[in-house]
Structure 1
Amino acid sequence: MSGLVSGLQQDHLSELIRGQDLPLPALDPSHVELILELIQLAYEGIKADYPGAVFAGDEKHLNSLMVDRLNHLVGDDPVASLLVRAVSRGTETKNYDASRFEMRPDIQISLTSRQHLFPLIVECKLIDISKGKTVDRYCKDGLARFTTGDYAWTNREAMLLAYVRDGASTTSHLQPFLAASMALSPPEYAVVSLPQKCAASLPDAVRSDHGRYFSYVHGAQNGKLPGDIAVWHLWVS
């Protein structure tokens, strides 16, 4: 039975990455920053229109509102629509070796420059220290999905969106946490570079770089390393 399962996993990978050389080419940083700006704008609109959801709603409700607002923004913006095809929530995917099915990233942004099978992944987490929504969980349940090959394993970049409710920032919380992780041997979360400010127009957007703990397992890609992944963090409050 294990041989059959392994064969089926290979079939799924073969069909998914048909004709692709992995990892895919990196996105232009200016395009990533434009998407960050769209997400910030979407959040600000939702905060104005639905303050109850922003201050008390859980992640799934916030994510649903964000996806709908982002699709409206893209549809209304001729420049954004040149870059983004559509935004979706919870679309089923698989990890790098197809050993895990029915995985559902929080937000997937389908880009006009890529097949819709390879979206930009946005994982979303609440930051509310008093209620146990800590930066440790942000990394353990969010960042780690990118270093271990659960999400964005075909890509060179991914995003983490934090809904902050307690005044925390990337400078006060994420930076020291990842610095401590980087000092471990081996570095936890495979930290290659600590968060650096990006998208200067945004209140709290940074980029960190991370190694990845897996290699590709199928066909011509077998044994190939995916290389580092750039993770763009946007913290909104």
Structure 2
Amino acid sequence: MSGLISGLQDHLSELIRGQELPLPALDHSHIELILELLQQAYTGIKADYPTAVAGGDEKHLNSLMVDRLNHLVGDDPLASMVVRAVSRGTETKNYDASRFEMRPDIQISLTSRQHLFPLIVECKLIDLTKGKTVDLYCRDGLARFTTGDYAWTNREAMMLAYVRGGASTTSHLTPFLAAAMGLSPPEYAVVSLPQKCAVSLPDAARSDHGRYFTYVHGAQSGKLPGDIAVWHLWVN
């Protein structure tokens, strides 16, 4: 067992070589540009593939989104100054390498960072008629950021909801997180409730969450990562 643990620590050591964690926060203007790209990509695939958007599963939609996003970045000089490439299901590991073959839905490689530290976008369907609720959105999506499964090197992450029906961040996400915040201790480590951002977009909000795991390797060993800002884009 000790050999296995040592091997996992080797992987962490190599991953964070020369890095001070958590990495510096991204500029808010870059975050809003990426949110706008996500919205534009969804609007495009909705127009071109309405059947897929109306009835496809998350994997199908994510694949369409990744391909459309890469086309948008390639065609937009401003976007290409911020985004290097977009990928889907690239293998990663959690904060202590105890979970080793994890695959976030969408990873956005940025020109300002090494590609080893992408912006993570976790995607979920919101379809109340089929049991795809905000509870699942948080339990199987948002929680990955608070527990150190995803984006543990970063100060920010994104959640993308494919909404079928009339749900919104205001009507569903904010009340759910408000209830979670009232628990002791707060569920999902809610520090601040969703606040509207990217005013040009129909439904984008930011919430902040605590993270209570500690880094386990390198100069940051034993250090808390601090809060993470999560941007929520709900597209309908």
Q: For residue 96 of structure 1, what is the aligned residue in structure 2?
A: 95
How many pairs align?
236
1:149-186: CA deviations, max 9, x gaps?
A: 00000000000000000110000000000000000000
Q: For residue 67 of structure 2, what is the aligned residue in structure 1?
A: 68
Q: For residue 194 of structure 2, what is the aligned residue in structure 1?
A: 195
For structure 1, which runs of at least 5 residues remain unmatched after alignment? none
What SS does the aligned partner of 2:157 have?
Answer: strand
Mapped pair 1:105 → 2:85: no
Q: For residue 159 of structure 1, what is the aligned residue in structure 2?
A: 158
1:103-130: CA deviations, max 9, x gaps?
A: 0000000000000000000000000011
**Deviation larger for 218-227 or 111-120:** 218-227
> How far apart in 1 are the matches of 2:198 and 2:13?
37
Once the 2 structures are TM-superposed, how far is the Cα of residue 220 of structure 1 from its aligned partner? 1.2
> How far apart in 2 are the matches of 1:187 and 1:73?
39
Q: For residue 172 of structure 2, what is the aligned residue in structure 1?
A: 173
> How far apart in 1 are the matches of 2:95 and 2:42?
31
Q: For residue 54 of structure 1, what is the aligned residue in structure 2?
A: 53
What SS does the aligned partner of 1:231 have?
Answer: strand
TM-score by length of 1: 0.99
What SS does the aligned partner of 2:141 have?
Answer: helix
Instruction: State the one-letter code of the partner of 2:39.
Output: Q
What SS does the aligned partner of 1:52 have?
Answer: helix
For structure 2, which runs of at least 5 residues remain unmatched after alignment? none
Q: For residue 39 of structure 1, what is the aligned residue in structure 2?
A: 38
1:189-228: CA deviations, max 9, x gaps?
A: 0000000000000000000000013010002111000000
Instruction: State the one-letter code of the partner of 2:31.
Output: V
Q: For residue 204 of structure 2, what is the aligned residue in structure 1?
A: 205
Identity of aligned residues (%): 86
What SS does the aligned partner of 2:121 have?
Answer: strand
TM-score by length of 2: 0.99
